[in-house]
């Protein structure tokens, strides 16, 4: 009898995870609040439950588990729902993050407090409960600062504060993206930003994912903090690379992640690497499902599934077998009404394209870009070198034209 894996999240980025589970001969249950979730068609069973409703998810899982359909593992399928995974795992007695870890990785203020107490290098931070308090921090620390909701995702409500920012507007704007109504401020760290992906198991940790993030559009979309993809292998020196990986793994352990995967955001400052955030899950943005496997040969998804099932993973499996050039870039059309897309046919024949998708149709209304969820599409490319992969990705972005009636 095959084992059953509960995958929380059925979005388009969950599809490779569902397919990998099926290839491993697992019975895949997919849970998502969207009845039309793209991953539904690949699932053996589908539950219509919000990925954020931890209690409803646990109740359904318990009913299935004790009703003749035992569940052997639970995993977030590229969805930022660590608390839901933790509640289900504890209810069923399965491997997974503790509820405390689930909470810490769901609340950025609690996370930062935990990391600070554990001695992990991070930017200074503070809770903000009023506009006057925000003015006080600006007066004390100066610009730039970062204001963010403590419990939002996808860079929603995240702002880089400068002397051009209306602080009263910024506070209200950021607060509206917090389900709890809480926001925080922290130091803006200049320096290279790196996305990490670590595997932690049985007393060891490896970080096969180390992707340099591309923030060339930071000023164009200010005060919103918009990332435009990334590339690997990292351009960091071997010493800096090792330091970034070490601090990401240290932060994961401080948050109680000793078995599973952890996605990190790290900035390399003049005084060394500092952690911005750690997520107790597989990363999104096609990082865990496409970018890291292509660049390193490490089966991030397969390893995460096996860890969720309580199976052993060797350290050698988590060590990169090679370092190939991989890049991802996004499509950011101007706001307005779309008249359709040109250049897709030619672009698909371009050398080095691994994956290309633009989800804009004629007649679609494109809003002003304020967060990462508003990407109109993406392209992933490979190359003999990192630079070649980047050049190919940026050439495709130039080649594909989203014809807009600008607002």
HEC profile of 340-390: EEECHHHHHCCCCEEEEEECCCCCCEECCCCCHHHCCEEEEEEECCHHHHH
| Residues in Cβ contact with 231 at an 8 Å cutoff, skipping those fewer than 6 apart | 211, 212, 214, 325, 326, 327, 328, 386, 389, 390, 393
Q: What is the pLDDT of residues 303-321, one digit of tens each?
A: 999 999 999 999 999 999 9
Order of strands across the sheet with 73-76? 45-48, 27-32, 4-8, 73-76
| Predicted confidence (pLDDT) per residue in 258-278, tens digit | 999 999 999 999 999 999 999
Taking the C-alpha atoms of residue 153 and residue 285, their distance in angstroms, rounded to an integer, is: 13
144 cis-preceded (ω within 30 degrees of 0): yes
At 407, the pLDDT band (50, 70, 90 cuts) reads low
Residue indicated by tokens 């769901």? 106
Instruction: Give the whole-angstrom CA distance, residue 321 versus residue 169.
Output: 49
Give the residue carrying structure tokens 């006057």. Answer: 132
Report angle CA 79, 82, 85 to the nearest 5 degrees.
95
212 contacts 230 by C-beta, under 8 angstroms: yes
Check: CB of residue 208 under 8 Å from CB of residue 166: no
> How far is C-alpha 346 from the chain's CA centre?
30
Cα distance between residue 32 and residue 46, in whole Å: 8
pLDDT of residue 202: 85
277: three-class secondary structure by DSSP: strand
Are the CB atoms for 223 and 174 separated by under 8 Å?
no
Question: Is the Cα dihedral 209, 89, 84, 105 positive or negative?
Answer: negative
Element (H, E) at 60: helix 54-65
* 89/95 Cα distance (integer angstroms): 6
The pLDDT of residue 1 is above 80:
no
Q: From start to end of 117-190, where are the E strands?
A: 125-128, 145-149, 159-161, 183-187
Average pLDDT over residues 194-206: 96
Among candidates 258, 150, 118, 155, which has minimal Cα distance to 198? 258
Q: What is the mean pLDDT of residues 223-251?
A: 97
Alpha-carbon gap, residue 141 to 133, rounded angstroms: 12
Residue 282 predicted with pLDDT over 70:
yes
Asked if the model's pLDDT at residue 405 lies above 90, the reply is: no
pLDDT in tens, 55-86: 999 999 999 999 999 999 999 998 999 999 99
């Amino acid at each position: 009898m095959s084992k059953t894996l509960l995958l929380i999240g059925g979005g388009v980025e969950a599809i490779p995870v569902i397919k990998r589970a099926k290839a491993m001969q697992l019975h895949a249950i997919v849970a998502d609040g969207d009845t039309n979730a793209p991953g539904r068609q690949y699932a053996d069973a589908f539950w219509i439950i919000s990925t954020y409703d931890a209690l409803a998810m646990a109740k359904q899982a318990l009913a299935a588990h004790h009703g003749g359909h035992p569940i052997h593992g639970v995993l977030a399928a590229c969805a930022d729902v660590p608390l839901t995974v933790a509640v289900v795992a504890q209810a069923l007695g399965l491997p997974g993050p503790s509820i405390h870890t689930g909470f810490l990785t769901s609340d950025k203020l609690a996370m930062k407090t935990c990391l600070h107490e554990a001695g992990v290098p991070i930017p200074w931070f503070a809770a903000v409960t009023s506009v006057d308090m925000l003015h006080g921090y600006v007066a004390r620390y100066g610009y730039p600062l970062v204001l963010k909701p403590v419990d939002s995702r996808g860079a929603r409500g995240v702002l880089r504060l400068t002397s051009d920012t209306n602080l009263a507007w910024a506070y209200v704007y950021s607060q509206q993206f917090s389900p709890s109504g809480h926001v925080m401020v922290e130091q803006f760290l200049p320096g290279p930003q790196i996305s990490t992906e670590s595997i932690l198991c049985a007393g060891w940790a490896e970080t096969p994912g180390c992707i340099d993030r591309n923030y060339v559009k930071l000023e164009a979309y200010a005060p919103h903090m918009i990332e435009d993809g990334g590339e690997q292998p990292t351009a960091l020196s071997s010493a800096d690379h090792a330091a970034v990986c070490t601090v990401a793994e240290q932060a994961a352990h401080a948050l109680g992640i000793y078995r599973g995967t952890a996605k990190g955001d790290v900035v390399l400052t003049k005084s060394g690497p500092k952690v911005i955030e750690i997520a107790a899950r597989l990363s999104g943005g096609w990082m865990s499902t496409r970018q890291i496997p292509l660049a390193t040969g490490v089966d991030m998804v397969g390893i995460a599934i096996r860890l969720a099932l309580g199976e052993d993973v060797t350290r050698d499996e988590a060590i990169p077998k090679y370092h190939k050039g991989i890049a991802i870039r996004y499509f950011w059309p101007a706001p307005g009404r779309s008249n359709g897309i040109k250049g897709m046919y030619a672009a698909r024949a371009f050398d080095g394209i691994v994956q290309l998708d633009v989800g804009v149709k004629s007649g679609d209304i494109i809003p002003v870009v304020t967060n990462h969820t508003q990407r109109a599409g993406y392209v992933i490319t490979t190359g003999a070198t990192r630079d070649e992969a980047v050049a190919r990705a940026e050439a495709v972005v130039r080649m594909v034209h989203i014809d807009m009636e600008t607002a």
